[in-house]
């Protein structure tokens, strides 16, 4: 009887045994019920015996209950055990987007040449994006830079050139600054045009700054990026906020075709006297240039379509992060 209890293999079986022995129709009740039919002296002895049995049964049940509980606990602990010798699950650290890498590299090149890094808002006023840059309200040059407007009259800046005016209003020359950032244009996208892209603007103002200084600055940026012997070219062009104005290009071997060609990068020129006057500068001159970062990245990496940058296709992105991401 007690052995049965000690060998109950789980709580359920133990409970069943308990009912069999101590329950309403169980062994002990039946024995007690039979006491009445025994002669008086036997009845007493049997009564004592049954009481002892009851305590023994109860004790045995309690012991088995404790044993089963401790087996259950150790099984649970075993299941939850952590094997500290197993190799960990590798968490990817990610990597920088190819455009961020390009901007970082450009900023490093300019910082090494003594330029200060500045940034400004993407939501810009019409005054700073256009009017202060010598685009009068009905000037046709505005049409080349259509954009997206907020309901309060501000707009998503179409270029980084408003940073020129923002900086000049708050500082006095001499200075050399570089301002990278996101810009927006309302235009149909194709392999070389996005509605959202990045530009990098450079502005240098001091006494007697000349077009020659600008030429040198563009040439040394190209040399830093692509090495000695790289050729740059200026071609006359028009931007309302520079005079004279030009477009600059780099003589570059296209890695896709293997052919040498001129890569048009952006616009440049001497800061227009109207712009200098509007920020209260006198007796100084300056140059500015600005170009498309995607354009540079497309060519340097031989990427066939500008839209890949924002598709977030991991197969594309991983190519520039050494496999991370």
Please state the closest distance from residue 191 (CB atom) to ligand FA5, in A: 10
Please state the closest distance from residue 323 (CB atom) to ligand FA5, in A: 28
Looking at the Cβ atoms of 14 and 268, the one nearer to ligand FA5 is 268
**In terms of C-beta density within 10 A (0-12 exposed, 13-18 middle, 19 or more buried), how is residue 45 classed?**
exposed
Looking at the Cβ atoms of 173 and 269, the one nearer to ligand FA5 is 269
Looking at the Cβ atoms of 8 and 265, the one nearer to ligand FA5 is 265
Among 196, 177, 172, residue whose Cα is nearest residue 280: 172
Please state the closest distance from residue 85 (CB atom) to ligand FA5, in A: 53
Q: How far apart are CA 136 and CA 271, in angstroms?
A: 16
202, 115 contact by CB (below 8 A): yes
Q: How far is CA 203 from CA 156, 163, 288, in A?
A: 21, 9, 4
Please state the closest distance from residue 284 (CB atom) to ligand FA5, in A: 17
Q: How far is CA 76 from CA 6, 68, 79, 81, 148, in A?
A: 22, 12, 5, 9, 62
Indicate the angle between helix axes 211-226 and 98-112, nearest 10 degrees.
130
Please state the closest distance from residue 213 (CB atom) to ligand FA5, in A: 14
Looking at the Cβ atoms of 23 and 244, the one nearer to ligand FA5 is 244
Looking at the Cβ atoms of 64 and 272, the one nearer to ligand FA5 is 272
Range list of β-strands (E), the chain:
116-117, 123-124, 155-156, 175-184, 196-206, 231-237, 242-253, 260-271, 285-292
Place of tokens 């050494």: 322
Looking at the Cβ atoms of 239 and 320, the one nearer to ligand FA5 is 239
Looking at the Cβ atoms of 58 and 305, the one nearer to ligand FA5 is 305
207, 174 contact by CB (below 8 A): yes
Looking at the Cβ atoms of 276 and 306, the one nearer to ligand FA5 is 306
The β-bridge partners of 206 are 285
Looking at the Cβ atoms of 14 and 158, the one nearer to ligand FA5 is 158
23, 31 contact by CB (below 8 A): no
Please state the closest distance from residue 249 (CB atom) to ligand FA5, in A: 9
User: Using CB under 6 A as the criterion, which residues of the chain lie in contact with ligand FA5 when the complex forms?
Assistant: 159, 161, 185, 187, 193-194, 197, 199, 201, 239, 242, 245, 264-269, 288-292, 294-295, 306
Please state the closest distance from residue 295 (CB atom) to ligand FA5, in A: 4
217, 110 contact by CB (below 8 A): no
Q: How far apart are CA 90 and CA 145, in angstroms?
A: 46
Q: How far apart are CA 172 and CA 157, in angstroms?
A: 24
Please state the closest distance from residue 179 (CB atom) to ligand FA5, in A: 10
The β-bridge partners of 197 are 183
Please state the closest distance from residue 239 (CB atom) to ligand FA5, in A: 4
204, 118 contact by CB (below 8 A): no
């Amino acid at each position: 009887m007690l052995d049965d209890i000690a060998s109950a293999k789980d709580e359920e079986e133990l409970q069943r045994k308990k009912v069999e022995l101590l329950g309403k129709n169980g062994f002990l009740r039946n024995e007690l019920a039979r006491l009445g039919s025994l002669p008086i002296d036997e009845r007493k002895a049997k009564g004592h015996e049954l009481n002892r049995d009851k305590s023994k049964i109860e004790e045995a049940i309690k012991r088995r209950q404790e044993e089963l509980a401790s087996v259950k606990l150790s099984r649970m602990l075993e299941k939850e055990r952590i094997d500290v010798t197993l190799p960990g699950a590798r968490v990817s650290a990610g990597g920088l987007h190819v455009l961020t890498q390009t901007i970082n590299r450009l900023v490093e090149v300019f910082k090494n040449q003594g330029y200060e890094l500045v940034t400004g808002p993407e939501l810009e006023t019409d005054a700073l994006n256009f009017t202060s840059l010598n685009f009068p309200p009905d000037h046709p040059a505005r049409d080349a830079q259509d954009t997206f407007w907020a309901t309060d009259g501000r707009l998503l800046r179409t270029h980084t050139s408003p940073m020129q005016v923002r900086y000049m209003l708050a500082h006095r020359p001499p200075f050399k600054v570089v301002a990278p950032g996101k810009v927006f244009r309302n235009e149909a996208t194709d392999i070389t045009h996005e509605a959202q892209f990045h530009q990098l603007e450079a502005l240098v103002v001091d006494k007697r700054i000349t077009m020659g200084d600008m030429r040198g600055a563009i040439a040394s940026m190209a040399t830093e990026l692509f090495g000695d012997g790289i050729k740059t070219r200026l071609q006359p062009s028009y931007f309302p906020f520079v005079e004279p104005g030009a477009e600059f290009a780099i003589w570059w071997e296209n890695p896709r075709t293997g052919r040498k060609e001129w890569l048009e990068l952006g616009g440049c020129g001497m800061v227009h006297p109207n712009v200098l006057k509007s920020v209260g500068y006198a007796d100084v001159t300056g140059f500015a240039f600005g170009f498309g970062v995607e354009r540079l990245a497309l060519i340097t990496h031989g990427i066939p379509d500008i839209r890949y940058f924002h598709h977030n296709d991991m197969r594309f992105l991983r190519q520039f992060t050494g496999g991370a991401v």
